[in-house]
Amino acid sequence: MDRKLSPEFFEMYQQMKQRNVFRVIIRYGKYMAARSEEIAAENGYPNFKFRYMGFLANIDPKGTIASDLARCIHVTKQAMSKMVKEIEREGYIEFKPHESDGRASVIHLTPEGEDLLRLGVTISEKLKSEMVEMAGEDNVEHLIDTLQSLLQEVEERRGWPFLIGKVEEQ
C-alpha cells in the first residue's frame, strides 16, 4: 500500500484548512489578544499581557487566595505562582494576610490593578466595536450567541466547568 499522500489530498486539505473552525477561532483569538495588548500600550500599559485579564477579573473585591484563583481560571498552582509573581511585579496586585488562616495570603487589586481592570472593559468594548465595523452588529451578536450556546452545551453534556469565572465546588 502506497502511504504517500496525493497532490489532490493536499489541495483538498488546503481548502479545508481555510474553513477549519478550530483554526479560525484560534487565529482570531490570537489577533484579539495582540490587539488588546496594543490598546493597553496606547493607554499607558506597555507591559500589559492579555493573560492578565482573566486573572484580574476574577479577584473578588474582598480578595482571593491563589488556589481559588487558579481553579477559577483553570491553571495549575505552579502556573498561578508564576503569574502572581509577574503581575505583582507589575504593581497590579498586592498581598494581605488572611483573616482566619495565618499561613495564607489574600490577593487584592492595587489602585493600578483596578484602573487596568476598568481599561479591560474599554478594550473589550473597542474590540467589539471594531468587529461590528468589519462584520456588522447582527453577525457579531450572532457569533457571540452561538459561541455562548456551544460553551453552555459543552458544560451540560460533558460536565465541563470551563466558562471563565465559574468555580467548581470542592
Task: State the pLDDT at residue 72.
Answer: 84
**pTM metric for this prediction:** 0.78
Task: State the pLDDT at residue 162.
Answer: 56
| DSSP 8-state code for residue 52 | H
Give the integer Cα–Cα distance in Å for 98 and 107.
Answer: 9
Give the integer Cα–Cα distance in Å for 80 and 86.
Answer: 10
| Residue 53, C-alpha cell as written in the block | 485579564
CATH class as words, domain 18-152 = mainly alpha
Sign of CA dihedral 83, 54, 150, 133: negative
Helix (H, G, I), strand (E, B) or coil at 166: coil
Secondary element (H or E) of residue 94: strand 93-97
Could you tell me the residue ranges of all domains in the chain? 18-152
As beta bridge partners, residue 107 has 64, 95
| Residue 136, C-alpha cell as written in the block | 456588522
Helix (H, G, I), strand (E, B) or coil at 49: coil
List the pLDDT tens digit at each of the 170 positions of the chain.
568 888 899 889 888 888 899 999 999 999 999 999 999 999 999 999 998 998 999 999 999 998 888 888 888 888 899 999 999 999 999 999 888 887 888 999 999 999 999 999 999 999 999 999 999 999 999 999 999 999 888 888 877 665 444 444 33
